[in-house]
Structure 1
Amino acid sequence: MRIALVGYGKMGKIIDEMATKRGHEIIARLNETPTAETLNRPDVVIEFSHPEAAFNNIKNCLQNRIPVVSGTTGWLAQKNEIEEIALQNNTAFLYGSNFSLGVNLFFALNEKLAAIMNNFKEYTVQLEEIHHVHKKDAPSGTAISLAEGIIQNHAQYDAWKLEETQNHDLGIFAIRQDEVPGTHSVFYRSEVDEIEIRHAAFSRDGFALGAVMAAEWIQGKQGNFSMKDVLHL
């Protein structure tokens, strides 16, 4: 494939290496808002930029009928509008809060456990995420996806908030620490015990591989997708 990278920070550079290893050609490396000229006619765009830039970055690509795989978090209030733009332009958009294979399996496990624990009111749920000190948004997109998976499968909770769980508000603790790539934990606590599921990333390589796999998968498709579609979860 001919791939354009929009957002060429740490993740962009690792995706560059991963895509090249898999035989693809990187034909644009952009840190500015993309245009038809600077994109250089790619087959797909992989977008990992900043929350304040993501909407315009993605919109410009979709309006040029170029499919987009995006991993930028912190901008999701405008996601519905982006999905409509993708449909209007007969192209494809795939958003992932986390492209790691392990994390997406973790998402599926989280939803299954929430459905089971819905029947056991003795337990209160709490989420925790730990990331490197450079991460700009909190909570992480992955933590929000975990919270949404619980809310959809557990009748006790109808919203999430950035603190301790209280009543119907599911709590998320967001911790910024050193150079941690990403650790996410879900705790079910009662007065007598605790159940924990946890995913810890050792490097960003897993995120990059998943993003490239998503770009490979999205070619020739129209519509809005997620990693559940890519991995058949």
Structure 2
Amino acid sequence: MDKNARDVRNSFNETAAVYDGQRRKLIPCFDDFYGIAAALAETETEAPSILDLGAGTGLLSSFLLQRYPQAKLTLIDLSDNMLDIARKRFKDVPGVTYRCEDYTKFAAECSFDLIVSGLSIHHLSDEDKRVLYKASYANLKPGGVFINADQVLGHTPYVDALYKTDWKRKVEASGLSAAEIAAAYERTKLDRMAGLQTQLDWLEQASFADVDCVYKYYNFVVMVGRKR
């Protein structure tokens, strides 16, 4: 595990207990962001197999489970503390698989109807993002859908500064304590964001069809691609 992955694991182990309670205050577009990601999860089966990359506390998976109550979930994350929260969240849900490991090195034993990720891939290096997109394509069933709800870099320094200024203004008016805000700012040092168009190009290069950014709110985006 490289230093950045260790830092990400340690940071989210520390924040696991308060993570869910802060989401609406740290994601100004919370309802649309997660709601649209779940709405894009189109599949013909009532019990889809879903792989959640960087699943954390299972927040995104919980939205998908509302849509597909019989789904078979596989949650993978570096942080064992975050997955402990997910285990509590899904304690009454049968057949959920938890894997505490680096998903960039995950070797899937089966293919999935849906592969999703929420606010995680932006912690990866650009090369790891590209490798992950190719692996996700390979790990999908034909017609399967990949959804990445994440944060992106502004396409110019000016635009990126606008994104950051807007987010900080809203976070500081959210009601979070000074200590919570400081901790959130500290976590942004782990970000390794890439531009939106760059990542859409990488998805197409990984052979995904119907690639699109379906939702965008400043630097919060929902990208989608489908296996041919």
Please classify the TM superposition score into its range, dividing by the shorter chain length. Answer: 0.3 to 0.5
Structure 1 or 2, whichever has the larger Rg, is: 1
Q: Which structure has greater helix proportion? A: 2
TM-score (norm 2): 0.36
TM-score (norm 1): 0.35
